[in-house]
Amino acid sequence: MSKDFQISRGYALQLDSQDKLASYRDQFIIDDPNLIYLDGNSLGRLPKVAIERAKQIVENEWGKDLIRGWNKGWWEAPSRVGDKIGQLIGAAAGQVLVNDTVSINLFKLATSALTLQPDKKRIITDTFNFPSDLYILQGIKQNLGNQHEIISIGSKDNDITPNLAELESSINENTALVTLSHVVFKSGYLYDMQRITELVHRKGALVLWDLSHSVGSVPVKLDECNADLAIGCTYKYLNGGPGAPAFLYVNKKIQDKLSSPIWGWWGQKNPFDFDLKYEPAAGAQRFLVGTQPMISLLTMEAALEPTLQAGMDSLRKKSILMTDYASFLTQSLLALFDFSLGSPVDSAQRGSHISIRHREGYRINRALIEEMNVIPDFREPDNIRLGFAPLYTSFADVWEGFDRIKRVMEEKRYEKYPKQKLMVT
């Protein structure tokens, strides 16, 4: 195949014609076919099935069932929907619960892991982790009397790959918890969950994985890896909608040893006894706190359907083809414009988004959004992040996105935007 053909739109169309998941795009609202949406890693598109379901929930369940809804499937929704997400992350039933936000779930699980091991004072994370995760850890340290040390592993190569040797040597017998994002939010680096979990266990510590960027894009095998704890969100690749509740995973083996730092009535053994003394519910249920946002949670349940139908192996296959293709287009279509790839070259070490880096990244990103009808996002200091959601992103979208970036560069369209950043980037 000639290079000219490989960088042409014709090749993207050929890839689309061979794509077994292509028909899933019809299950989503594509309001503007000319919009190139490359931000499904931040907020997934709206699945059509979720619209019907949301209407039913509001009109019938809230409107007609009223309080009776709690006995018609609302009360069990956190564990029922948790089990469905469990199918996507390799967790057998009874270990995943939908509730609260990722940040709050991290607070609950990390605090509980630390209080379980009061003599161990080391927490390990990395500088690649989502800042909210790091803030939560800093807050926990303060809450627990400033007795812990937080070690943040750095990069070995300009913020693309974490320094695994440093990670390995930092885990010692004093380590209580290692917590990392499975796929990191900027470069898209994908940790080897099996290997890191083994390293952590060898020193007797617990591991907590943030799956926000991997659930729905990368096969995850929590039980098989013997992971201890995990958290993740549902509004990215799971298409649950803005602010849809998050999930947490607690391995069956440690559920009954852990105590939640927030004792609420949803985590009580018999909440409808209204007993005045708290007793934890059995299993992971004790990590629930209070009433969950049912409209959002049940809508998200419906939104999971396309992902469950497609299956993680097919999604991953297409995702790799797309990130490989995007890396190739960065090096070919954009070769003249001084971009560099801010993501691992090896697809086995990459999730479903890539970063392309440019010193004018912020203004280029702005030009793409404001005048080219392309939506990526920008992450400091110079990363334009491009997310590829295998359920609805087509290869033609990928090509068109890159062609529009090329036009922004050729016509220097970014130069008219101020360097001053908007609030949400």
Q: Which residues are catalytic?
A: 130, 210, 235-236, 385
- 389 and 315 in contact (C-beta within 8 Å)? no
CB nearer to ligand PLP: give 120 or 350. 350
Residue 425 binds ligand PLP, judged by CB under 6 A: no
CB 155 within 8 A of CB 163: yes
Window 225-254: residues binding ligand PLP (CB under 6 A): 233, 246
Residue 385: helix, strand or coil by DSSP? Answer: strand
Using CB under 6 A as the binding criterion, the count of chain residues that bind ligand PLP stands at: 13
Residue-wise DSSP of 127-171: TTS-HHHHHHHHHHHHHTTS--EEEEE-BSSTTSSB-HHHHHHH-
3-state helix, strand, coil in the chain (%, to 5): 45, 15, 40
Residue 345 tokens read as 């070259």
Comparison of 69 and 240: residue with beta carbon closer to ligand PLP: 240
Which residues have a Cβ under 8 Å from the Cβ of 243 and sit 6 or more positions away? 235, 293, 296
Under rule CB under 6 A, which residues in 140-159 are in contact with ligand PLP? none
Among 11, 107, 130, 266, binds ligand PLP (CB under 6 A): 130
Q: Is 59 exposed, middle or buried (0-12, 13-18, 19+ CB in 10 A)?
A: exposed
204: left (phi over 0), alpha (psi -120 to 50) or beta: left
Region from 31-39, 166-174, 198-206, 208-216 binding ligand PLP, contact rule CB under 6 A: 208-216
- In sequence order, which residues have a C-beta less than 8 Å from that of residue 257 and are 6 or more positions away? 116
Residue 245 CB, shortest distance to ligand PLP, in Å, is 8
Which CB atom, from 185 or from 392, has the smaller least distance to ligand PLP?
Answer: 185
Residue 391, CA atoms < 13 Å, CB-side half-sphere = 30
Look at phi and psi of residue 108 and say left if phi exceeds 0, alpha if psi is from -120 to 50, else beta.
alpha
Choose the stretch contacting ligand PLP; rule: CB under 6 A; options: 108-116, 206-214, 300-308, 402-410.
206-214
Residue 377 touching ligand PLP (CB under 6 A): no
Query: Taking CB under 6 A as the rule, does residue 103 contact ligand PLP?
Result: yes
Closest distance to ligand PLP from the beta carbon of 191 (Å): 12
> Does residue 353 bind ligand PLP (CB under 6 A)?
no
Contact 351, 232 (CB under 8 A): no
Return the number of the residue (94 or 139) whose C-beta is nearest ligand PLP. Answer: 139
One of 79, 99, 175, 181 touching ligand PLP (CB under 6 A): 181
Position 210 contacts ligand PLP (CB under 6 A): yes
Q: Using the minimum distance from each CB to ligand PLP, give the nearer residue, 236 or 404.
A: 236
Q: What count of other Cβ atoms lies within 10 Å of the Cβ of residue 208?
A: 26
Compare residues 42 and 331 and give the one whose CB is closer to ligand PLP: 42
To ligand PLP, the closest distance from the beta carbon of 242 in angstroms equals 10
Nearest approach, Cβ of residue 98 and ligand PLP (Å) = 12
The residues that touch ligand PLP, with contacts defined as CB under 6 A, are: 101-103, 130, 132-133, 181, 185, 210, 212-213, 233, 246
